């Protein structure tokens, strides 16, 4: 530390470059939220804020999303019996439809909440809370994922029961969960890299395009679906779930300089 001779009242110690860098690093370290494990961060946030507060003002969006998802799965279940009787490759095509429908609840509720909070301009309120907006959004995504897993499980069981055939329920569950976590992983990547409103459109458009391509080549895709072992489908779903949780943890710890850009 070197002194300043011409300072009023005597010599004032002035930090050199290394000391300044160390001070700045200390301020940044103390000012930035510490990186936490996903489980610890979620548990502490839910314990301090509560799920009721995390979804304050948007419970109607959650209810509407659940109602819409129930309608989608209801249509699949209602038409499963007739669909299976008309087509020899109906089982594979039914799995294609389930693959496309599985992320519906997750994405629909996600979009409804983002639209509502932008309409009411409550995003800025979340950003000044103790917890970062990305951590709040991550906990919501986990809740959407858990609700979607429950809905997909119930939907697969009901579709299998009403289809009139003995369908491979475990394979159907694996396909459904793989679809859900693949979509959630893609939406997470889009949210982290694209600004609104592009972040709301990229994944649904890409998903519909992929679904159209799968249906156009449904003879080949349906055959692959029918021959897919349950262990393989469940293994793929588990791998995608792990990848989603890992990406979600990284998303929760996005530096502050990038938070505003992602949701601007």
* Of 6 and 245, the one with more pLDDT: 245
CA distance 196 to 119: 13
Based on its alpha-carbon atoms, the radius of gyration of the chain, rounded to whole angstroms, reads 24
Tell me if 59 is assigned to some domain.
yes
| pLDDT single digits (tens) 79-112 | 776 666 666 567 777 888 888 888 888 888 888 8
CA distance 155 to 149: 10
| pLDDT single digits (tens) 53-71 | 677 677 788 888 888 888 8
What is the reported pLDDT for 125? 60
Tell me if 2 is assigned to some domain.
no
| pLDDT single digits (tens) 226-261 | 788 889 989 999 999 999 888 888 877 655 444 444
| pLDDT single digits (tens) 106-160 | 888 888 888 877 777 666 665 555 566 667 777 777 787 888 888 888 888 887 7
Tell me if 174 is assigned to some domain.
yes
Residues in CB range of 253: below 8 A, 6 or more apart = 35, 36, 134
CB 74 within 8 A of CB 161: no
CB 65 within 8 A of CB 108: yes
- Kindly state the helix (H) or strand (E) to which residue 103 belongs, with its residue range: none
Q: Please tell me what DSSP assigns to residue 32.
A: S
* Of 185 and 13, the one with more pLDDT: 185
- The structure tokens listed for 170 are 């475990």
Structural domain boundaries enclosing 92: 36-262
Tell me if 1 is assigned to some domain.
no
CB 199 within 8 A of CB 190: yes
Tell me if 9 is assigned to some domain.
no
What is the reported pLDDT for 197? 78
Domain tally for the chain? 1
This prediction has a pTM of 0.73
Highest mean pLDDT among 10-24, 52-66, 134-148, 199-213: 199-213
In DSSP notation, 69-96 reads HHHHHHHHHHHHHHHHHH-TTHHHHHHH
CA distance 89 to 55: 43
Tell me if 5 is assigned to some domain.
no
Tell me if 92 is assigned to some domain.
yes
Residues in CB range of 255: below 8 A, 6 or more apart = 32
């Amino acid at each position: 530390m070197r002194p300043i001779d011409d300072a009023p009242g005597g010599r004032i110690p002035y930090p050199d470059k290394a000391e300044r860098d160390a001070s700045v690093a200390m301020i940044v370290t103390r000012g930035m939220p510490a990186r936490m494990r996903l489980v610890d961060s979620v548990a502490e946030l839910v314990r301090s804020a509560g799920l009721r507060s995390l979804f304050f003002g948007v419970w109607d969006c959650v209810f509407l999303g659940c109602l819409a998802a129930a309608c989608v799965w209801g249509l699949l279940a209602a038409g499963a019996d007739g669909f299976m009787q008309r087509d020899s490759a109906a089982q594979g095509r039914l799995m294609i439809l389930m693959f496309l429908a599985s992320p519906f609840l997750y994405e629909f509720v996600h979009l409804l909440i983002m639209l509502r909070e932008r309409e009411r301009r409550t995003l800025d309120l979340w950003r000044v809370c103790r917890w970062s907006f990305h951590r709040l959004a991550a906990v919501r995504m986990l809740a959407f994922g858990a609700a979607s897993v429950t809905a997909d499980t119930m939907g697969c069981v009901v579709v299998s029961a009403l289809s009139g055939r003995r369908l491979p329920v475990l394979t159907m569950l694996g396909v459904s969960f793989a679809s859900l976590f693949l979509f959630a992983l893609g939406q997470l990547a889009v949210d982290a890299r694209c600004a609104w409103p592009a972040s709301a459109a990229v994944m649904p458009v890409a998903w519909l395009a992929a679904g159209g391509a799968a249906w156009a080549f449904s003879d080949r895709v349906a055959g692959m679906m029918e021959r897919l072992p349950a262990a393989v489908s469940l293994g793929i779903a588990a791998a995608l779930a792990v990848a989603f949780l890992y990406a979600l943890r990284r998303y929760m710890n996005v530096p502050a300089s990038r938070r505003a850009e992602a949701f601007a």
